[in-house]
Amino acid sequence: MKKIVSLFLAISLVFTSLNVKADEGMWLPMFIKRLNIKDMQSKGLKLTAEEIYSVNNSSLKDAIISLGGFCTGEIISDQGLMLTNHHCGYDAIQQFSTVTNNYLRDGFWAMTKSEEKNVPGLTATFLVRMEDVTAEILEALAEQSSKKDKAAKLKSLKAELIKKATEGTHYTAYIKEFFFGNEYYMFINETFEDVRLVGAPPESVGKYGGDTDNWMWPRHTGDFTLFRVYSGEDGKPAKYSAENIPLKPKHHLPVNIKGVKEGDFAMIMGYPGSTDRYLSSFGVQQLIDKKAPTVVEVRDVKLATMKAQMDKKEKVDIMYSSKYAQTANYWKYYQGQGEQLKTNKVVDRKTQLERQFEEWYSKSPEREAKYQNALKDIRDYYDLTDKYIIGNTYVMEAGVRGPNYVLYAWRSNRILDAISKTRKKMNDLISDASEEEKAKLIAERDKTVNNLIAALENSTKSHFKNYDKTTEKNLVANLFDLYYNKVDKEQHPAFFADVKKANFKRYARKMFWCSPFVKEKRMNKLISKLKAGKEIDESEDKAVKSANDFLAMYFSSAAKFAEAEEKMEEGYRLFIEGIRLMQPEKSFYPNANSTQRLTYGQVLSYGVSDKVKAMVRSKDGLDTYYTTMEGLIEKEIPGDQEFSLPARLKELYEKKDYGQYADADGKLRVNFLTNNDITGGNSGSPVIDGNGYLIGTAFDGNWEAMSGDISFENKVQRTISVDIRYTLFIIDKYAGASHLIDEMTVIK
């Protein structure tokens, strides 16, 4: 469950023919007391709303972290120890891995705090409080007539409200829209910048099953990583320093090793990235027919190209492991989503809701006047973009996010252009200035230019850190060739016309023969020339020209459909507003948008489909809500990259040396199921029992419900989690890191 998407659609799709269940819903913690607490308590929650979300007192929300903005983590000790998923820590593990110290392959465990590894750029953000700013914003926007004026007013008002909320503090804040602009909320946060890697199992545990098992149940994956959050001596956020101390959190989650049983209350708190539950039937159809298969098609080629070199060299395998995993996850996600949208008849269900909406507004002249164009404007947008969606998807998948040089070359050339313009502008001013003014202007010029050069130097170092020339050259040749042959010529980037006989292998060879943007040594020479004051013009470089063409296509597409998109957005806003009025008895929750949410339900198995039964390699877990070590061993294929097991783990299994983490029957449980409502961004989220204790870590969803981001599947949607007892078993018995267990508050 690694999907990270930036969509801003709103509320859940609720059909009158279905009962709303407690397992559906990504609820804002601030509203738990008003909307959910009684229902939660009736299902087994022993806590009060104040113990879940409180501004003035310690509460569960204070243990929940937005990890880097892409995953969730939870504090599990009073020394700032943080638990998340292995795939959430993958980049961190990878950046410390080398051929001689391959932590991805072998795992990593800091036996003392001094051995913990600082992860540059990784942050841990805690929610301090939420504030409803809807009234102020809607009142101000109502006074503006044009979209441009509204956008300008919204920007200035957000800045004003954020300044007021954070002035005199070290907090940060942001404001997001909900229900497609019908509501606005501000989130005040505290962000810590010193986050250190503490422990991670080997891939053969943390990524067991690989792409084959991804999105599948049964699972047998120890998908976890440990970090530690550090603060300054005053307890406030601080840049990395050896003098920093482990964070003393406002709250940490006790760890329950008593185990769970089917029907037990379970809630998940975290930062789900995005759902699209109110996508119209027109949008779903376009996704099924065009976007999903196109993404899969391009990523097929990208994955095969990377894998070819990764299999040849361990160094390349380490460098591209994270890129490959991210690409593969979304590749399989779109396969499953497209299939399940059809299987679960989501278009039909969306159409049914839209017809109900039309019937509702047609019964009132006032409602008809207000809402009659909402669905029309939405439909018109998809009709207009239908012809271009495949080409636009290729622009992103094979171009902008295709070969790694594209964004780097585009951004680097913009820096070169900025340096050139700054020098010219300042030199003109200097030539006409007095001697006293000249000194000031020269200093200003040099400072600005040096900052730009430093930015280019830093981005160059980062870009080429995990970079293999052969892999990158093959990505250029293979992805561009696919684009050329699959997309109408009218939607080709301009530079395609200059490629003789559409021979992209030769084009790639020439680019890599001469362009500085595809070779680190050349870029370092270019940077040295800049530092020496030389003018650099790379506007005719092949890498720059192709990158500029891809980005020009991306931006022109946005401009081309701007008017239709504006109408579509207003159509969705009215549609959502109308649906909420049409169903006043319903409690609506906003769509996921990377803000803290809570979902609740129960530990629960389900009937695995016959198709999935034929796809999985172990029967362990097919008829239960949990899997065991027996099933993990059953899946093993010695020497297979996805299903190999470390000798130490097999030794512990043979001895049944599970310690205090075994179940009552002597078996060790690995993963379990709940019917909680999660999505990408929830990766690493804590699964919490009715007492507020940690029982597991969420890491994936199931194949049959891969349409769930667009339409929640009441009967089959499940969350797959690592049983906390398996996590502790790996830490304690496998890794011998019992000092970490000693930090935790363990409930036996």
The catalytic residue positions are 87, 223, 683
Which residues are 256's β-sheet partners? 747
Give the orientation angle of helix 147-166 with respect to helix 134-142, to 10 degrees.
Answer: 150
CA torsion 6-9-15-18 (nearest 10°) is: 30
Angle, alpha carbons 120-592-602 (nearest 5°): 100
Query: Cβ distance 114 to 190 under 8 Å?
Result: no
CA–CA distance, 695 with 226 (Å, rounded to integer): 16
CA–CA distance, 510 with 629 (Å, rounded to integer): 53
Chain-centre distance for alpha carbon 723: 23
Query: Cβ distance 683 to 221 under 8 Å?
Result: no
CA–CA distance, 601 with 604 (Å, rounded to integer): 9
Can the peptide bond before residue 237 be classed as cis, meaning omega within 30 degrees of 0? no
Query: Cβ distance 27 to 35 under 8 Å?
Result: yes
Can you point out the beta strands (E) in 664-733? 669-674, 686-688, 694-701, 719-723
Query: What is the sign of the dihedral through the CA atoms of 45, 50, 51 and 54?
Result: positive
Would you tell me how many other CB atoms lie within 10 Å of the CB of residue 602? 21
Do β-strands 719-723 and 669-674 pair in parallel, antiparallel, or remain unpaired? antiparallel
Containing 225, the helix (H) or strand (E) segment is: strand 225-231
Query: Cβ distance 86 to 200 under 8 Å?
Result: yes
Query: Cβ distance 687 to 670 under 8 Å?
Result: no
| Residue 495 DSSP symbol | G
CA–CA distance, 452 with 311 (Å, rounded to integer): 38
Query: Phi/psi of residue 34, each to 5°?
Result: -80, -40
Give the orientation angle of helix 405-431 with respect to helix 435-463, to 10 degrees.
Answer: 170
Q: Which residue has the tokens 């003035």?
A: 56
Angle, alpha carbons 174-176-180 (nearest 5°): 170
Containing 369, the helix (H) or strand (E) segment is: helix 365-371
Angle, alpha carbons 265-267-272 (nearest 5°): 155
| Residue 230 DSSP symbol | E
Task: Name residues whose C-beta falls within 8 Å of residue 106's C-beta, 6 or more positions apart in sequence.
Answer: 202
Burial of 144 (0-12, 13-18, 19+ CB in 10 A): middle
Angle, alpha carbons 458-462-468 (nearest 5°): 140
Query: Cβ distance 710 to 723 under 8 Å?
Result: no
Q: How many CA atoms lie within 13 A of 743 on its CB side?
A: 27
Radius of gyration of the chain (CA): 27
CA torsion 213-214-217-223 (nearest 10°) is: 100
User: Assign residue 136 a region: left if phi > 0, alpha if psi is -120 to 50, beta otherwise?
Assistant: alpha
CA–CA distance, 652 with 638 (Å, rounded to integer): 17
Q: Which residue has the tokens 């003014």?
A: 437
Query: Cβ distance 27 to 598 under 8 Å?
Result: yes
Containing 188, the helix (H) or strand (E) segment is: strand 183-192
Task: Name the token pair of 395.
Answer: 């622009």
CA–CA distance, 421 with 448 (Å, rounded to integer): 11
